[in-house]
Chains A and B, each alone.
Chain A
Amino acid sequence: MASINCWRCLARPSQRLLLAPVFVAASAPTSAAFSTSTQLSAKTPEGNTRHVRTGKRLILGRKKRTPDKTKPPLSGERKAFRKRIQLSNDNALQVSGLDVLSAENVVNPDSVGKVFGVPSPEVIDQLRTCEAFKSSQNWNLFRSPHMLVRKETVDLAKQMTDAIEKKETLRLVITGNRGSGKSIVGLQALTTGFLNKWVVINIPEGQELTTAATEYSTIPNSEMFSQPVYTVKLMQAIYQTNQSILSQYKVELDHLQLPISVTRNMTLAGLLNATKEPEFSWPVFQAFWKELRLPGRPPILFSLDGLAHIMRVSEYRSPAFELIHSHDLSLVRMFAEALGGKTSFANGAVILGVTSKGNAPIIPSMEKAIAQASAAQKGEQIPPRDPFSRKYDERVFDSLRGVKVLDVQGVSKVEARALMEYWAASGVLRSRVDEKNVSEKWTMAGNGVVAEMERVAFYDLRAAL
């Protein structure tokens, strides 16, 4: 076994193997590291003097195979377990003295480098319904969801609120290195949207739309394809998260071509909830989208995570057995046109594309378009396209024309310290949080990349378990 942690002794890691091994795991029962009571109450096994040999043991003779008597999990149970999101942990300590995020302090520059709680239960429920929390984020280590407000968060929130006050459209792409917290910044943007009572539409995973895992069908008199089942799911999510806002507005247009009857005294929420029939979902959603953009309606926040997946040719095939470009899928095209500035919003809107570095395809056109947008934003020389490349996709460039770019990098040491103090207060991090320790973890995490900070800080903990 490799050494548990080389910093425990004064030898170089390679030489540590020569030293006598330390048995940490032998006495530690498998329980949550928050509580020491189980470890203390656990009796030492009898016969301590028994010669215990580590390593492989020679087993002679046939291994006896006992058939597994336990029932296999039911269908869908494994996936549910994998995808489940646990937002609270009773073993973690309650952290007192932290403010709750509000529409005011998310745009306040003074709140940079502080940890805020997510207002519960309404915003948490809304975020959960629109699938903003991900199973890859370690929400289950803490008593209740809290977020570190960083420079980028305040910057983004300020840009969003400014644009919506002026009834403009902010089209923005969040980029950054792997594990730098892009999705969390997106989550914070959604939270801002909910706190400001905007209509929030969130597509949690771009790849759910393009990897040919959900139903699709042709749209009559159109070259596009609709995704009826996903659209129903999305409509229900919008209905549940924005019900209080949408029920204040009535339908204003005539929708004679719709397969369901829509009357003038129907609210927008009612329109969304009018049908759960996949066949009718796309026309109804289109009508809703048209209604939402009429003057006098609430501002819109439309967000999508995993931008790279919707910038490529999808895995669906048309009846002529040709691969369908993602932008020919109606929902994706709706987002792409909004992001590319082809759709006009009368009441102000924020269109947010969040890139992802895990399980994301490499799209040269998207990378070039983002690099160009980023250079234009900084006022630098715009990098030209490679004249010999055949891999460029003009539709991708169209959909990213004139977007703003928010580059999320590692956190500063002040923010890192706030984060580690929060971990320590929650009982996850047991070491002392001082300047030296913070600086060390910050360096180890590649200059403060958040996911790596977490990995490095909990490395001792994970190794001991």
Chain B
Amino acid sequence: MPVSPSYFSRLPHFNDSFVHVQELNRKYARLPTLHPSQVERVAWKTKDQYRLSIGEHVKARDYAACIALVKRLNQIHPDLMPEEVKAGLQPFKRNINIFLNRPKSVPIDQFGRSHGVGKRKSSIARAWLVEGTGEVLINGKPMNEAFGRVHDRESALWGLKSTDRLDKYNVWALVGGGGSTGQAEALAMAIAKALIVHEPPLKTPLRRAGCITRDPRTVERKKPGHVKARKSPAWVKR
């Protein structure tokens, strides 16, 4: 005699869970709930992840119906959440909760410096920001020696410029790798990251200015049988 009544169905595990969730929903429908915006965020398994975890081909429609009930159950006030419900929701949760991940914050050090790292193409830049009067030293050199093009100088300090902080901070930076464009834009990212440590509310304006997002474009690799990444050899007769 099978343990579960759904042993001979196509999706025994899912059916069991679904029925259980429906029962729980019926049982605890009257418990007070929180507004969805106040519920702590949980990383639910997606349909594919769920299929993979139980090894059954769950239909998308069924899973959607089930997960809606699960989310409804999760809204129960945490103080009144029965153990039974917690156990019942467990199969639908991912092993880790990505929403608890927080980026490690680098604090301002004892000298008042904040540190940021930026990358672009194959350049890496590290920048330290101190409150000051707008002096910039890059690899120990002043701005005009570090970047010959005015355009590069402008793009390197774009984060400070767009937020009107150019004369409020001193920058000391180390840049390496790549060419001048890459270095300048890596520096823009590094300076923006360091600026956020000093003034966290500037994150959104800096993101709009395009200084936070790492530009993913890099040189495409060369492929065998090609002259360059995509160029084919010229056709030769015989």
Q: CB-CB < 8 A to B188: which residues of A? A: 12
Q: Mark B31-74, 1 if CB is under 8 A from A, else 0.
A: 00000000000000000000000000000000000000000000
- Asked whether any CB of chain A lies closer than 8 Å to the CB of B176, the reply is no
Cβ-defined contact, B164 with A436, below 8 A: yes
A449 to B148 alpha-carbon distance, docked (Å): 13
A223 to B157 alpha-carbon distance, docked (Å): 58
Q: Looking at the complex, which one of A10, A179, A442, A447 makes contact with B208 (CB distance below 8 Å)?
A: A10
Contact A2/B151 with A12-B211, A439-B167 known, Cβ cut-off 8 Å:
yes
Cβ-defined contact, A5 with B154, below 8 A: yes
Q: Looking at the complex, which one of B143, B155, B162, B167 makes contact with A445 (CB distance below 8 Å)?
A: B143
- Asked whether any CB of chain A lies closer than 8 Å to the CB of B136, the reply is yes
Q: CB-CB < 8 A to A439: which residues of B? A: 133-134, 166-167
Cβ-defined contact, A10 with B144, below 8 A: no
Q: Mark B132-161, 1 if CB is under 8 A from A, else 0.
A: 011110000011111000110111011001
Cβ-defined contact, B155 with A12, below 8 A: yes
Tier of interface size on chain A? 20 to 34
Give the distance to chain B from A268, nearest Cβ to Cβ, in Å.
45
Give the distance to chain A from B14, nearest Cβ to Cβ, in Å.
46
Q: Mark A26-59, 1 if CB is under 8 A from B, else 0.
A: 0000000000000000000000000000000000
A410 to B137 alpha-carbon distance, docked (Å): 14
Q: CB-CB < 8 A to B120: which residues of A? A: 14
- Asked whether any CB of chain A lies closer than 8 Å to the CB of B91, the reply is no
Q: CB-CB < 8 A to A449: which residues of B? A: 142, 144
Q: CB within 8 Å of B: which of A409-465? A: 410, 413, 435-436, 439-440, 442-447, 449, 452, 455-456, 459
Q: CB-CB < 8 A to A177: which residues of B? A: 142, 145
- Asked whether any CB of chain B lies closer than 8 Å to the CB of A23, the reply is no
- Asked whether any CB of chain B lies closer than 8 Å to the CB of A25, the reply is no
B209 nearest CB neighbor, chain A only: A10
B211 nearest CB neighbor, chain A only: A12
Cβ-defined contact, B158 with A440, below 8 A: no
- Asked whether any CB of chain B lies closer than 8 Å to the CB of A321, the reply is no
- Asked whether any CB of chain B lies closer than 8 Å to the CB of A7, the reply is yes
Cβ-defined contact, B158 with A443, below 8 A: no
Most buried by B among A3, A410, A447, A455: A447
- Asked whether any CB of chain A lies closer than 8 Å to the CB of B131, the reply is no
Cβ-defined contact, A444 with B151, below 8 A: no
Most buried by A among B135, B143, B161, B209: B143
Cβ-defined contact, B144 with A179, below 8 A: yes
Cβ-defined contact, B135 with A447, below 8 A: yes
Q: Looking at the complex, which one of A10, A446, A459 makes contact with B162 (CB distance below 8 Å)?
A: A10
Cβ-defined contact, A14 with B144, below 8 A: no
Contact A440/B210 with A7-B161, A12-B188, A447-B136 known, Cβ cut-off 8 Å:
no
- Asked whether any CB of chain B lies closer than 8 Å to the CB of A261, the reply is no
Q: CB-CB < 8 A to A13: which residues of B? A: 151, 154-155, 158, 185
Q: CB-CB < 8 A to B167: which residues of A? A: 435-436, 439-440, 443
Q: Mark A239-280, 1 if CB is under 8 A from B, else 0.
A: 000000000000000000000000000000000000000000
- Asked whether any CB of chain B lies closer than 8 Å to the CB of A11, the reply is yes
A452 nearest CB neighbor, chain B only: B144
Cβ-defined contact, A12 with B136, below 8 A: no
- Asked whether any CB of chain B lies closer than 8 Å to the CB of A294, the reply is no
A380 to B190 alpha-carbon distance, docked (Å): 37
Q: Looking at the complex, which one of A14, A15, A440, A447 makes contact with B161 (CB distance below 8 Å)?
A: A440
B144 nearest CB neighbor, chain A only: A446
Cβ-defined contact, B166 with A443, below 8 A: yes
Contact A440/B166 with A14-B181, A14-B215 known, Cβ cut-off 8 Å:
yes
Cβ-defined contact, B155 with A447, below 8 A: no
Cβ-defined contact, A446 with B161, below 8 A: no
B120 nearest CB neighbor, chain A only: A14
B171 nearest CB neighbor, chain A only: A443
- Asked whether any CB of chain B lies closer than 8 Å to the CB of A6, the reply is yes
Give the distance to chain A from B151, nearest Cβ to Cβ, in Å.
7
Q: CB-CB < 8 A to B157: which residues of A? A: 443-444
A462 nearest CB neighbor, chain B only: B150
Q: CB within 8 Å of A: which of B85-115? A: none
Q: CB-CB < 8 A to A3: which residues of B? A: 151
Cβ-defined contact, B155 with A443, below 8 A: no
Give the distance to chain A from B142, nearest Cβ to Cβ, in Å.
3
A449 to B153 alpha-carbon distance, docked (Å): 14
Q: CB-CB < 8 A to A452: which residues of B? A: 143-144
Q: Looking at the complex, which one of B134, B145, B146, B162 makes contact with A443 (CB distance below 8 Å)?
A: B134
Give the distance to chain B from A223, nearest Cβ to Cβ, in Å.
42
A4 to B153 alpha-carbon distance, docked (Å): 14
A11 to B208 alpha-carbon distance, docked (Å): 8
A232 to B181 alpha-carbon distance, docked (Å): 51
Q: CB-CB < 8 A to B144: which residues of A? A: 179, 445-446, 449, 452
Q: CB within 8 Å of A: which of B177-215? A: 181, 185, 188, 208-211, 215
Contact A12/B150 with A439-B134, A444-B143, A447-B143 known, Cβ cut-off 8 Å:
no
Give the distance to chain A from B167, nearest Cβ to Cβ, in Å.
4
Cβ-defined contact, B162 with A444, below 8 A: no
Q: CB-CB < 8 A to B146: which residues of A? A: 446
Cβ-defined contact, B209 with A456, below 8 A: no
Cβ-defined contact, A6 with B150, below 8 A: no
Q: CB-CB < 8 A to A6: which residues of B? A: 151, 154-155, 158
Give the distance to chain A from B134, nearest Cβ to Cβ, in Å.
4
Give the distance to chain B from A311, nearest Cβ to Cβ, in Å.
23
Q: CB-CB < 8 A to A447: which residues of B? A: 135-136, 142-143
A443 to B210 alpha-carbon distance, docked (Å): 21
Cβ-defined contact, B154 with A443, below 8 A: no
Q: CB-CB < 8 A to A440: which residues of B? A: 134, 161, 166-167
Q: Looking at the complex, which one of B150, B210, B211 makes contact with A459 (CB distance below 8 Å)?
A: B150
Contacts A12-B215, A14-B181, A435-B167 aside, 8 further interface pairs with beta carbons under 8 A come to: A12-B158, A12-B211, A13-B155, A14-B155, A179-B144, A446-B143, A449-B142, A459-B150
Name 18 A/B residue pairs within 8 A (Cβ), A-sorted. Answer: A2-B151, A6-B151, A6-B158, A10-B208, A12-B210, A13-B151, A13-B155, A178-B145, A439-B134, A440-B134, A440-B166, A443-B134, A443-B166, A444-B143, A444-B153, A444-B157, A446-B143, A447-B142
**Lowest 6 A-B CB distances belong to which pairs?**
A446-B144, A446-B142, A12-B210, A439-B167, A446-B143, A13-B155
